[in-house]
Amino acid sequence: MKILKIPCSCGALRKKAGIEKAPDAICKELENFYLKENGLLPILDIDEVKIENSNIEAANKSIQKKIKELNIPAIVIGGDHSITYSCFKSFANNFNNPGLVVFDAHADCENDFRPPTHEDYLRVLVQEGILKSENIILIGIRNLHINELEFVKKNKIKYYSMKELTENGRQDNAEAIMSVARKFDALYISVDIDVVDPAFAPGTGYVEPGGMSSRELIFLLHKLRLLRNFRMMDIVEVNPDKDISNLTVKLAAKLVVEMS
């Protein structure tokens, strides 16, 4: 599996310091995993995008150029969540009906900044016509701004809040999510690590209590990995400077291994 490091923090507004260290920190942890849980050996081919973190436009350009040339399937290690804008934009060029499954405590549709930040990359993807709103599934939502709730409802974006996920059985959740995701001609998965409860993943900018366990996330990712249309994933918003005992970095590394 191709692994692409994107040490970008320029879309993170006031919470940026430290996010750019995540790709190296996560890749260092990869060495500590032997076999995947399915018994297969992870084969990882690591590459990097050089990022100038003082210039978001230049960073977006570099990311889009690299993704265009990238052999997929691939896993991207960010970086703040704004990189999903550039990654998905380049990715979407190659397909007729690409879809995005997002694991995140937030909907990232709050504002409408151009270039988009990590608070509104999803809204901009929809508003620029790059991603159809019916081809989005948000999972793990638990802190929506009123603007976001309105946007999500108006655009009929499917979302599974933490509350709903908890009330329904995990198998039912997985089947409902997969029945939509398998219809895309190419599946892109974006994992904001804050979807996981801060007890498991404290190393991130916006900690949100009441999230999923690492195992609940891995359960759903294992299911999605089985879909034939899986093409790309990113892991974003890990901040090694805010981490405790490297827990969040290690979890991100495990996700890379399991999805490879």
Q: Is the peptide bond before 115 cis (omega within 30 degrees of 0)?
A: yes
CB of 179 to Mn ion, least distance (A): 25
- Does residue 104 bind Mn ion (CB under 5 A)? yes
Among 5, 66, 89, 106, binds Mn ion (CB under 5 A): 106
CB of 85 to Mn ion, least distance (A): 14
User: Which of 18-26, 104-112, 157-165, 168-176 is the region at the interface with Mn ion (rule: CB under 5 A)?
Assistant: 104-112
Name 23's Cβ contacts closer than 8 Å, sequence gap at least 6.
Answer: 5, 6, 7, 48, 77, 78, 79
Torsional sign, CA 178, 209, 112, 51: negative
Strand 186-192 to strand 98-103: parallel, antiparallel, or no bridges (unpaired)? parallel
Q: How remote is the C-alpha of 236 from its chain's centroid?
A: 5
- Does residue 110 bind Mn ion (CB under 5 A)? no
- Does residue 243 bind Mn ion (CB under 5 A)? no
Cβ distance to Mn ion smaller for residue 105 or 109: 105
CB of 137 to Mn ion, least distance (A): 15
Measured from the Cβ of residue 72, the count of other Cβ atoms closer than 10 Å reads: 15
- Does residue 192 bind Mn ion (CB under 5 A)? yes
Determine the 3-state secondary structure of 47 from DSSP. Answer: strand
Cβ distance to Mn ion smaller for residue 207 or 247: 207
User: Which of 25-33, 38-46, 99-107, 178-186 is the region at the interface with Mn ion (rule: CB under 5 A)?
Assistant: 99-107
Q: Which residues bind Mn ion (CB under 5 A)?
A: 104-106, 192, 194
